[in-house]
Amino acid sequence: MNIKTLLFDLDGTLINTNELIIASFLHTLEHYKPGEYDREKVITFIGPPLADSFKTVDAERYEEMIDFYRTHNHAFHDELVREYEGVFETIKTLHEKGYNLAIVTTKIRKTALMGLKLMNLDSYFDVVVGLDDVTHAKPHTEPLELALERLGVTKEGAMMIGDSPHDIHAGKNLGIPTAGVSWSIKGEEAIRALEPDYVLETMADLLDILEVESE
């Protein structure tokens, strides 16, 4: 396979921020809309930019809600973020083998860098494209195109890896191969329904797909 550039989503793909995100949504929604939201409902908010989610709750106060969410999210970040088995080793191997690696996330850059640093992944990614770097978030192709531009490569030989419809649709919209992760909080069935080119059971599966020999 002639893939040399890998564009990764962050949350739910490389780092397990599910409990942090759910806790931050519940904390915020309980403050603004007491008793109206439970865990099952807030899981539907995972993936899109915060603005898109909170506008559906309160179009007048969504910016205030984002600030409230982020205050909680940053305060509990290191306590609630967890690693996914095999991610560090896989990313390290890909970096050592000379693959172009970039993060394309709907988080703001500051928060994305917090997660990468916590999981010791920051040194492997020369390019991080956050929500505040673009005008249009995934599934628009702009974030992916910016990542490729900053890497100094074209879309030929690139792949998008993620855990949500926004990731898979963004890759398809750009016309590049896509890989969905089975550990998505949306569930493996939901990921397969998006018809990505590949479904990863573990991150190490990516090495097999790319025919990379790990040390």
40 three-class SS: helix
Paired residues of 161 in beta bridges: 8, 179
121 three-class SS: coil
Question: β-strands 82-83, 15-16: how paired?
Answer: antiparallel
Residue 9 known to be catalytic: yes
Query: Are the C-beta atoms of residues 43 and 163 closer than 8 Å to each other?
Result: no
| Per annotation, catalytic residue among 9, 11, 133, 163 | 9
Contacts of 35 (CB under 8 A, 6+ apart): none
- Residue type for position 211: E
Active site residues: 9
